[in-house]
Amino acid sequence: MTTAPQTAPADALPSELVRRLLTLATAGSAPSVEVFAPATGVKIADLPQSDTADIENAFVTARRAQREWVQRPVRERVAVLRRFHDLVLAEQDIILDIVQTETGKSRVHAFDEVGDVAVNARYYAAQAQRLLAPRNPRGVLPVLTRVEVRHRPKGVVAVISPWNYPLALAVSDALPALAAGNAVVARPDNQTALTALWAIDAAERAGLPKGLWQAVLGRGSVIGGEIIARADYVDYTGSSSTGRTIARQAGERLIGCSLELGGKNPMLVLADADVSAAAKIAVRACFASAGQLCESIERIYVHDSVYERFVTEFAQHTRNLALGSARDYSYEIGSLTFQRQIDTVTAHVEDAVAKGATVLAGGRARPDLGPYFYEPTILADVRDGMTVYREETFGPVVSVYRVGSDEEAVERANDSAYGLNASVWSRDTGRARQIAARVEAGSVNVNEGFIAAWGSVAAPSGGLGISGGGRRHGPEGLRKYIDTQTIAVQRALPIAPLPGMSEAMWAKTMTLYFGVMKALRQ
């Protein structure tokens, strides 16, 4: 591994910026907590925390703002998204500094979040009017029955977002909720709260009414239940274990929830793959944000005929990665975010090595760079019984396996309780698509790692199995935030026997009608 020159150390954020952003939080009644920059250990802020009264106030204010917001034409709502899109791109240096400081990730991977938010803002600004327009499906008796389907926002949506992608996951789920006419009460992770607060500030500068999008702060285990008890819908991204808890709490209230949870994502390198391209892209697919990404590849199944070449090139690319903590594009891999993350990574690697795994690249913590740096690591000879074999690492660790056929690759890829993302590599894209359709994952990328599917925001994204339920992106990413109302108007004749007609004659008449409609394919 190489170390990039530290030309722009990730020091503390400007105190004036921090103070201004903290005023946007509906918090302060509970004792504050200290937050530190993972890469350097520099203190970021004393972060105010929300108590029950703060949370209640946030929801009361949000409901008041939502009643006015929903009366605005959709074109006015999406105009805010367009202006927000422009602000994110114009002020990207500021938000990149905040994201890097709070997470420790490289600027390369922080920019992925800027791109994600811009693309989502643009998509929903362009599509919301069409998706929310009333529609007129055929009535039970054509011409005589006029049906209108209208869309109504849920009300106040709770967006509970994690620390690993604090801009993308806090914002890109909030935007369609707002476009649909909802208010949003956000609960960002304490570690990355400033990122979410910057987004709220930018949205208000773009024209979003104050109070429509708010943030409450605190640990999920402390305030999560209070949020869910007041929300009309819950959008959560995080661990599978917490997802189960949220699903139970939402179910008790009979409100909907969308859950994107963990992943143990496979990559399949078939015999006819472009090995050099696969080895190069695998680096980003496995180690983006130091592997702290639900979509990251953690298992690679390589056909025996190309295994040696793939592993050689992949390991070389991985060893050449530059690690560091500068606020510029001079390095490729940043820090892990928490002590618990480096503890998990270390435990998984040490357990695997102790049980016979081979380290092909990396395998070491780098305290010389910062407290939570760990080298991107490739393991071979991993087998069942090693912790890393089945458990999500959520760090810069990937295991590589030999397979003898497509069938074996698919079988082993599907041997997991997770089902979030996958990758298939082949020069024959038709064949690769057939293989992809057999992989049990919510998204499968052909000749890419995760960005092709994730970045195509007109298509839904989400998981199978313990990777969650519900979808973000695409029409589904907006429609989950609305309820439908059907208004049916019956004209001229009732849906009942005519005067003097017996029920038996009515049944025969309707039976004939049903047969005619079937023949007409109506």
pLDDT at residue 3 in the model: 56
Residue 22 near residue 47 (C-beta atoms within 8 A)? yes
Confidence (pLDDT) at 11: 65
pLDDT for the residue 5? 45
Tell me the residue type at 8: A
pTM over 0.85: yes
Taking the chain (522 residues) in runs of 10, the rounded mean pLDDT of each run is 49 91 96 96 96 98 98 98 98 98 97 98 98 96 95 98 97 98 98 98 98 97 97 97 96 97 98 98 98 97 98 98 94 97 98 98 97 98 98 98 98 98 98 98 98 97 96 97 97 92 95 93 82
pLDDT of the residue at 10: 46
Q: Kindly report the CA angle at 240 between 237 and 244, in degrees rounded to 5?
A: 95
Show the 3-state SS of 386-454.
Answer: EHHHHCCCCCCEEEEEEECCHHHHHHHHCCCCEECEEEEECCCHHHHHHHHHHCCCCEEEECCCCHHHH
Catalytic: 260?
A: yes
Whether 257 is catalytic: no
Predicted local confidence at residue 426, as pLDDT:
98
pLDDT value, residue 46: 97
- Could you tell me if 366 and 374 are in contact, meaning their C-beta atoms sit under 8 angstroms apart? yes
Q: Which of 113, 257, 286, 294 is catalytic?
A: 294
Q: Give residue 522's pLDDT.
A: 79
Catalytic residue, chosen from 226, 260, 298, 448, is 260
Q: What is the pLDDT of residue 2?
A: 62
Structure tokens at 492: 């001229």
Alpha-helical (H) ranges within 182-274 are 193-205, 220-228, 240-253
